[in-house]
Each structure stands twice: as C-alpha cells, then as structure tokens.
Amino acid sequence: MRIYYLALLGILFAGCKGDPKTEAPAEAPTESPMAMSSDTLVYPGEKHFASIRQITFGGDNAEAYWSFDDTKVIFQSNAEAWGMECDQMFLMNVGETFEDNKPPMLSTGMGRTTCGYFLPDNEHILYASTHLKGAACPEVPLRENGNYVWPVYDSFDIFVADLQGKITAQLTDEPGYDAEATVSPKGDKIVFTSDRSGDLELYTMNLDGSDVKQITDQLGYDGGAFFSPDGTQIIFRASRPKTEEEIAEYKGLLERGLVQPTNMELFICNADGSDLRQLTYLGNANWSPFFHPSGDKILFSSNFEAEGGFPFNLYMINTDGTGIERVTHGKTFDAFPVFSNDGKHLIFSSNRNNGGTRDTNLFIAEWRD
C-alpha cells in the first residue's frame, strides 16, 4: 500500500504539523519537458544528482523497481492518457521515455494493482491485485471523521506474471490484505505485508509462496519493506499507536479496512525479524525507505521539516540513526527512491517539472556519493 500517496497526494499527509492543507501546492509552470535539459531538472543543493532524466509525462506514476540486471523497470500508473481508471502495472526498458507513447501493461487491467517487483530471472514480476474480486476499481475513501485514511483492501492478493502479462502463479490466498511484496537481492525471499494475524504485520516467504513466516508483531501498520543489498536486514515504515485513544482509533479503523498514514517512523531489523529497532524519531510521515548500495545508509521520503504537511523531500540517514542529510530540495513531493542494483542510478517519483499540474512523474538520476 505504498500507493495511495499519489491518488490522494493533494490531501493525504496534510495536517501533520500546523494547520491542515487541503492539497499539495503545484509546481510553478515551466517550459516544455522535452525542451529542458537534465541539468534543469536538478535543483540547487541536490549534490548527489549528476543529472536527471524524466521518464513519464502525466498522471500519477510511482513504485518503479529495477530488474535484477538493471535493463528494465516495472512501475504503476493511473495515467488517463493511457486509459487508466486506477493503478495498473507497466513495463519499460531502461532508456525509454513516455511523453507521446504508452508502455506495455503487464497487469490484467481489472481491479486495482500495487507494488510490482521483478523476480531474479528478470522474466517475471510479482504484484498485488484486487482483480479476483471484480473488474472495477475499488473505491478510495478520503476521510474518516475529518481525518485522512487509506483503504486496506481485503481483496488484495499477490500474483506472479511473465513479461507478456500472463499470470503464472498466485502466491497468497489467505483472507484479508496481502500486498507490498518485494524481493531480496539474494533472490531467495519475499517480504510482504498482511493482516492475516488481525494486525498489519510483515511476513517473509519463498519465491514460490511457501514457508510463510511472520516477522513483526507490534501493534501498528508495518509496511513498505525492503531488504538490504546483502539480504540480511529489512527496512520498513510503521505506525505505532501508544495511548489508549490512539490504540482504540487504530483498531476501530482497521476493523473497517482503513488506516491513517500521517504519523510513521522507520524501523530496521534482521531478515528474520530479530534485533528490531526504531531508526527515526522525526515526527510526521517518514516512509518509502530504501537501502543505499553500501548497506550503511537509508534513503527515504519525509515531511518532518514541513509546517503544513508539505513538502516531502528525500533524505539519507545512517543505519545507526545518525547523520541525516537532505538529498532533494523540491517544493512539493519527492518519494519512492530506488537504487539500481549496480548503484549508479536512482529512480524516484516527483512533482518537479509538471507544468503547474498535480502530476507525479518518474525520474532517473545519475547518482554520485
């Protein structure tokens, strides 16, 4: 469920500090994206970006993940120009852009999908989908008693498909929410989020769906998990209701298939769930973490410096919780950072260069430490 950020970007995280905003501020209008050089897309202070290339040019595009050989990317989009009513999975070859053309869709086109990820053979992907419960896009509620909420669809299950879009396996069939699956760089395990225990916890399983093990058990929404480059650790974001009021609210919403995403911190543990510890204590929403290629740092998105909910920028922090550094300097939204397996490039989602619209597009940056 790293997903609804974009569909609800204008309102989802407002009100984390200060007065709530009703929508994210739009970027100022700019010249045509194709007329802009990669240098123009790098904002002042973004020293880790040697250059940036824009990949998509409209709609909400996110959750972009590299194949193990770094030649392809799977991502999700709801671009109206591509005929989408809600998120579906799309495939691109590295080097392609999509201003006037549409990439091949790998999901069924039915229901809602999220969280695509390549398997080690580079010929199959996994993703979560609601299509078994119906062809229509499930409703996205925006508010509950004046607060912003996410739906936790009990119709989400995790599937494997080939690069022609044919589903070759269904990995989960438990009642309830199963989604947010990612694969270890070692190529042996999947980590995912499920509410099969009655709470939203992390689980691991083999690539064929066998040997399912629960690895977290604290009350709160654990999700958005990724393995370290050597496969020995997992980074994720979580909510942790503490007061009686917070606990009652969390449980009440979850019973109705809803969660509130406005207060989240990063946690890190071993791949079996041992040695769990909280990494950030920043306040607001800290999410979409991903390991730096060294395995010693984490990139993530946060609005902890914002007074009214925005902007979200990318930050980097050591795995011992020290040395936080701001990486991007946008005015609205940068998130979903994912390194290529060779560590040379970073793909992420951003509102930069959207011509004053609410569009969130994909960008690939040439990374320098």
pLDDT one-digit tens code per residue, 61-97:
999 999 999 999 999 999 999 999 999 999 999 999 9
Give the DSSP H or E segment for 255.
helix 244-255
Q: Is the pLDDT of residue 35 over 50?
A: no
What is the predicted pLDDT for the residue at 252?
Answer: 95
Rounded Cα–Cα distance for residues 41 and 356 (Å): 15
pLDDT of residue 1: 47
What is the percent of the chain where pLDDT is above 90? 83
- Element (H or E) spanning 170, and its range? strand 167-170
Query: Over the stretch 167-195, which tens digit does the pLDDT of each residue have?
Result: 999 999 999 999 999 999 999 999 999 99
Q: Look at residue 38 in the predicted model and tell me its pLDDT.
A: 57
Q: Are 326 and 313 in contact (CB under 8 A)?
A: yes
Least confident of 35-44, 104-113, 200-209: 35-44
Query: Which DSSP state fits 245?
Result: H
Domain that holds residue 186: 4-367
Residue 269 has pLDDT above 80, yes or no: yes
Confidence of residue 21 (pLDDT cuts 50, 70, 90): very low
pLDDT at 302 over 80: yes
Contact criterion met (CB below 8 Å) for 151 and 188 = no
Cis preceding-peptide flag for 311 (omega within 30 of 0): yes
DSSP string, 192-216: EEE-TTSS-EEEEEETTS-S-EE--
Q: Return the closest-CA partner of residue 66 out of 359, 348, 368.
A: 348
Phi, psi of 82 (to 5 degrees): -100, 5
| DSSP-based three-state secondary structure for 250 | helix
102 token code pair: 């549409």
CB 293 within 8 A of CB 344: no
Residues in the chain: 369
Residue 313, beta-bridge partner list: 302
Q: Above 90 in pLDDT, residue 337?
A: yes
Distances (CA, A) of 233 to 186, 283, 300, 315, 339: 11, 23, 16, 20, 16
Q: Mean of the pLDDT values across residues 27-41?
A: 49
Whether residue 51 has pLDDT greater than 80? yes
Q: Residue 345: its pLDDT value, please?
A: 98
% of the chain with per-residue pLDDT over 70:
89
CA-to-CA separations, 147 to 11, 243, 249, in angstroms, rounded = 10, 18, 11
Number of domains into which the chain is organized: 1
Report CA 62 to chain centroid distance, whole Å: 7
User: For residue 37, is pLDDT > 70?
Assistant: no
Strands 334-339 and 189-194: unpaired
28 pLDDT higher than 80:
no
**In the structure encoding, which two tokens stand for residue 209, read together?**
């769906």
**Strands of the 286-291 sheet, one edge to the other:** 286-291, 297-302, 313-318, 325-326
Q: What is the pLDDT of residue 31?
A: 37
Which candidate, 41, 2, 9, 40, places its Cα nearest to that of 25?
9
CATH number at residue 40: 2.120.10.30
pLDDT at 17 over 50: no
Residue located via tokens 């040439």: 366
**Which tokens belong to 223?**
């999700």
Alpha-carbon distance 152 to 195, whole Å? Answer: 9
- Residue keyed to tokens 């769990």: 276
Q: What is the mean pLDDT of the chain?
A: 90
pLDDT of residue 148: 80
